[in-house]
Every structure is written in C-alpha cells, then in structure tokens.
Amino acid sequence: MSSISILGLGAMGTALARTLLKNGHTVTVWNRTRSRAEPLAGAGAKIAESPAEAIAASELTILCLVDYPAARAVLEQAQEALAGRDLLNLTNGTPGDARELGTWLAAREAIYLDGGIMAIPPMIGGAGALILYSGSRALFDRHSLALEALAESRHLGEDEGLASLYDIALLSGMYGLFSGFLHASALVTSAGGKAVDFLPLLLPWIEAMSGTLPDLAGKIDSGMHGRDVVSNIAMQKIALENIVRASEEQGVAPDFMRPMLRLAGDRVDSGGHGDDISAVVEVIRKRK
Ligand code: FVH
C-alpha cells in the first residue's frame, strides 16, 4: 500500500481520497477551504496544513482542482517541496495546459503524470470508471496498485498532452450525441410529442448508425473517402438542408445542424460529391 496525498477536495478529490482510504492506502489531504478536509479526517485521512506539507508526506501526490490556474497556484506555494516527487494531475484542461505544466514541473525536478478522468465522482472505485494517463510511464508503473483502485487505467504515451487530448475527444463524442438528442427532442416536442416516448425509436437508430463508425474510421485513416460509398455526401447535404428547413418550419432553431450542413457543403463545393460523410474531417483539419 502506498502513501498518497490529495490536493483539492471538491466532489472528485473527495471521491478519490475516500476510495484510496477504503483500499488501505495512507492518505494525506489538503484543501484551500480547510472545512472540506475535516470529514475525511474522520475516515482516517491526515490533514496537511499546506500543499508543501502534503507533498512531502507521501510517495505520490494527486492534484484534483477546478482548473489549471488553480493547480498552478497551489503548486507555486509548494515549490521547495517538488524536487524528486511523483505528481499526478487529474485536473481537467487542454493538451497544451498539460505540456506547459509538465515543462514547469520538469524545471523543478518533479516527475509528472497527467490524467483525464472518464467518470463522475460516484463511479470512482467502481465498474465503468476509466482514467486515461500520459507522461511518466515509470510513475504510472510505480503507483499502478493505487491507480487501479480508482478506476481502470490506460497509459497512452510519454507525451503529457495525450490524456487530455483523448479526454477531450471522448467528451466531443459525448456532446455530439447530446446535441443530436437535444435537437431531435426539440423537433418531436414541437408537434406535441414527448421526448421520453421518442427514445424507443431513437436509441435503436443510434445503435444502428454506430455500426457505420468502423467503416468511416477506416476512411478517415486511409483518406479514401470515395471508397465503397453507399450514402454520398451530396445526398447527405440535401438531407441536412431538409433538417434545417424542417426545424425552421417547426419553430426550432437549427443551430446544432447548420454547422454540419456548412461543412458537408464545403466538401461538395470542392468537388467531393461522391465522398462519404467521413470527408468532413478533411474540411475541419484544413481550418486548424
Ligand atoms: N465532478 C465531475 O463530474 C467531473 C468528472 C470528470 C473530471 N472532472 C474534473 O475534476 C476536477 C475537479 O472537479 P470537482 O468536481 O472536484 O470540482 P469542485 O467540486 O468544484 O472542486 C473544485 C476544487 O478546486 C479547488 N479550488 C478552486 N480554485 C482554487 C484555487 N484558486 N486555489 C486552490 N484551490 C482551488 C476547490 O477548493 P475550495 O473551493 O474547496 O477551497 C475545490 O477543492 C476538475 O478539473 C473537473 O473538470 C470532475
């Protein structure tokens, strides 16, 4: 069992600390607002009086703060304690944020692993929770027992930005799904339907369409968007125009759908009529 310090005791930091305690680890906690640490003392955690004291107390320190400026502010208070220490940052941010923090910590001789939590607090320590990691593989291997107690762990590579990149990519998939669901629900309810009653139609349809993703992914990776196309983008552009017109007729703002229409239209206008919808990736890559 390891000794682990947690800096940041919001909903997620508290769930991490409780899970580690439950699994027999020695846990030290610190939070800007001390009162949030006190319930954890009752569960067996030690309370540190400063971030530096917490970092010095344990083999591994986990940061779980609201954002990177907060994480950096906390670490700046503990600069003298950083050299040679193992630091895992589970604060959500961008790949650039993680790489910048990695550079800052390397200059202070700390060992850095970044992580992206694909779970909500009640899922921590249970089935279905996943944490993506990138950065120091040695740190990841050293603390694998503690990390596995929190969630299924996946190390993506030494580039500190990868965990965040994949976290953001997974969230993009989730928000794409949510935006489709919200738009579809607005359409159905505009004619007096109920979102709840629509789900038995929507869920099997989404499942059936998910079955096309392996083919689209192959086209994205090979760049061969015109291979074995059954639903060409010129046809899909007309479908998207119909979605926008139908939304307007029903008094529903087509704000989620217009960007997709514009991107498909750009590909058609540049001569990609026969391509699959996968070709939209080429349009958005060009806008980088
Ligand atoms: N909760 C969730 O569902 C998601 C799941 C996926 C991962 N996220 C990320 O986890 C990070 C922490 O999220 P959280 O849910 O614990 O957030 P809060 O409950 O709002 O707690 C925020 C903690 O940050 C501390 N804090 C804020 N500003 C500062 C600062 N300037 N200096 C020091 N600490 C700061 C705050 O302290 P206090 O307000 O209690 O004093 C809390 O400890 C986050 O990146 C999510 O995106 C969670």
Structure tokens given for 23: 């699994």
Is the distance from the beta carbon of residue 70 to the nearest atom of ligand 1 less than 6 Å? yes
pTM confidence score: 0.93
CA 257/CA 198 separation, integer angstroms: 19
pLDDT digit string (tens) for 86-99? 999 999 999 999 99
Nearest CA to ligand 1 atom 28: 70
**If pLDDT is split at 50, 70 and 90, which confidence band does 288 have?**
low
Cβ atoms of 267 and 286 within 8 Å: the answer is: no
Is the distance from the beta carbon of residue 91 to the nearest atom of ligand 1 less than 6 Å? yes
- Taking residues 78-86, report their average pLDDT: 97
**Of 14, 18, 66, 150, which is best to mutate to test ligand 1, by the most ligand atoms within 8 angstroms of its C-beta?**
66
pLDDT digit string (tens) for 228-263? 999 999 999 999 999 999 999 999 999 999 999 999
187 three-state secondary structure: helix
* Atom number of ligand 1 nearest to Cα 12: 16
Of 58, 61, 64, the C-alpha closest to 8 is 64
Is the distance from the beta carbon of residue 75 to the nearest atom of ligand 1 less than 6 Å? no
What is the reported pLDDT for 273?
Answer: 96
Which residue type sits at 198?
A: F
Of 123, 129, 171, the C-alpha closest to 152 is 129
pLDDT digit string (tens) for 132-175? 999 999 999 999 999 999 999 999 999 999 999 999 999 999 99
CA 51/CA 70 separation, integer angstroms: 12
Is the distance from the beta carbon of residue 31 to the nearest atom of ligand 1 less than 6 Å? yes
pLDDT digit string (tens) for 201-236? 999 999 999 999 999 999 999 999 999 999 999 999
Of 78, 84, 83, 80, the C-alpha closest to 65 is 78
Structure tokens given for 194: 């109920």
CA 38/CA 47 separation, integer angstroms: 8
**Gyration radius of the chain's alpha carbons:** 24
**If pLDDT is split at 50, 70 and 90, which confidence band does 1 have?**
confident
pLDDT digit string (tens) for 90-129? 999 999 999 999 999 999 999 999 999 999 999 999 999 9
Query: E strands, the chain, where?
Result: 3-7, 26-30, 46-47, 60-63, 86-89, 111-118, 130-135, 152-155
Is the distance from the beta carbon of residue 72 to the nearest atom of ligand 1 less than 6 Å? no
Is the distance from the beta carbon of residue 21 to the nearest atom of ligand 1 less than 6 Å? no
pLDDT of 267 strictly over 80: yes
pLDDT of 188 strictly over 70: yes
Q: Torsions phi, psi of 201, nearest 5?
A: -85, -45
Residue 159: exposure state from Cβ atoms within 10 A (0-12, 13-18, ≥19): middle
Structure tokens given for 46: 């030690």
Is the distance from the beta carbon of residue 260 to the nearest atom of ligand 1 less than 6 Å? no
